[in-house]
Chains A and B, each alone.
Chain A
């Protein structure tokens, strides 16, 4: 069975500072995708960043970057220059092609002014 763990239920960060959200997962599969999704109060799931498991290079997307450690099954998200609009629930998710998502329980991030 595949599992995704996010050990930080809540986090806060001051505006303009950097924060790292942790995610670990467990799977016996070799080909999969990892995602970080943001869920703002609108409740829509917004893709933040994705990582293909076969790629060794860590994905980056503007202020967002990941530290993907495949052997350790770790996939942390770093948010630089935090903005008030980053306040949201963040879900780490694991997916195999054509199969259902396995999401972590989420981390609620609050960016403080």
Chain B
């Protein structure tokens, strides 16, 4: 079965650069969530989208933005990168009203800021 796809899997950037992470949900899933996990830290919810509209917002810095496109894939845009942004970013997708909105997580994108 198709799973959540994230690209790239690994990304290395310099401070103050920008980065764009992409998430392709499971086909027909209409909700995407983004999480950030620092080394040895708990994953922190960043933001979620349902039907291309922002549905919930967590601890997303103002330097980050995200959107969900008409094909339901989502992109997380990160600007003015800081060393503390080095983390594993994973997204999850779910289908509203199905299986209790069970989230299926992608493998994550490992971002390293030098």
Assuming the contacts A100-B90, A101-B105, A105-B102, asked whether A43 and B33 have C-beta atoms less than 8 A apart, the reply is yes
Size category of the B interface is: 20 to 34
Query: Are B43 and A101 in contact, with the CB atoms below 8 A?
Result: yes
Closest Cβ of chain B to A88, distance in Å, is 10
The contact of A101 among B40, B90, B100, by CB within 8 Å, is B90
Closest to B107 in A: A100
Chain B positions within 8 Å of A99 at CB level: 88, 108
- Give the interface size bracket for A toward B: 10 to 19
Whether the Cβ atoms of A100 and B88 lie closer than 8 Å is yes
Q: Are B108 and A100 in contact (CB under 8 A)?
A: yes
Tell me the dominant secondary structure on chain A's binding face: loop
Contacts of B35 in A (CB 8 A): 45
In Å, the complex CA distance between A97 and B88 comes to 10
Question: What per-residue 1/0 map shows which CB atoms of B26-65 lie under 8 Å from chain A?
Answer: 0000010101010110110100100000011010000000
Is the C-beta of A77 less than 8 angstroms from some C-beta in chain B? no
Please tell me if the beta carbons of B105 and A103 are within 8 angstroms of each other in the complex: yes
